Amino acid sequence: TGLEQVVVTATRQSSTVNKVALSVTAQSQHDLDQQGTQQFKDLVGNVPGLFINQSLGTGLANVEIRGIAQGSQGAATTGFYLDDTPISKRNVGGGVATSNGTPLPPLFDLERVEVLRGPQGTLYGSGSEGGTVRYITPLPDLDKYSVYAKTSASITHDGSPSWDAGLAVGGPIIDGQLGFRISYYDLHRGGWLDIIDPVSQQNVGKDANYDDTRVF
């Protein structure tokens, strides 16, 4: 019935997103669910200037904002934070055995995701030359219990099914003083590529490029 108000903490203090003197894109869990956004790479179409160079099969990626890219060696150019904990990873030469890139947790049970464009070194350090991404997790409620759940399923033509399911529960242990929140999320992306033996021409791996992600 009205406009949703999104409060961000990108400047280390709470303020509505339209009053922050930064170029910020903030999306709540409700927004992500409405758009069918499951993984961070799904945000590329919704956040201006965001690009992801993801390593195949590793779950790691180099995140670029406004074209400022991370090289094959050295510190990240985009800061990546889970709440206030940095999870950006320095790239090491070679990249085969070192699995270069930053881990990208799935977008489940979050208060919001904030993408700050432009240099953010003052607040977030030298690894934020291009910008900063913040995953903000929900705080445990000290007064009431809550449950959040989601699930979806799909099928790929000539491939295998894809599905995801997650459940989060939280509430007070001691009213007004101590609370908890616990969640579990399981994501399966079905494959559609087959492995063919070059000698026998037999199918030795049907839908082999599937992917599984679990978060607790």
Task: Report the distance separating Cα 193 and Cα 210, nearest Å.
Answer: 9
Alpha helices in 5-157 (DSSP H): 29-35, 121-124
Decide which of 20 and 53 is more confident: 53
Average pLDDT, the chain: 83
Task: Report the distance separating Cα 170 and Cα 190, nearest Å.
Answer: 31
Task: Report the distance separating Cα 23 and Cα 21, nearest Å.
Answer: 7
pTM given for the model: 0.74
Angle at 125 between CA 122 and CA 127, to 5 degrees: 130
89 neighbors 76 (Cβ within 8 angstroms): yes
How large a percentage of the chain has pLDDT more than 90? 34
The secondary structure of 85-113, three-state, reads: EECCCCECCCCCCCCCCEECCCCCCCCEE
Q: Are strands 131-136 and 78-82 parallel, antiparallel or unpaired?
A: parallel
The structure tokens 């799909």 sit at 154
Decide which of 135 and 130 is more confident: 135
**pLDDT value at 155 more than 60:** yes
**pLDDT value at 73 more than 80:** no
CA 184 from centroid of its chain's CA atoms: 15
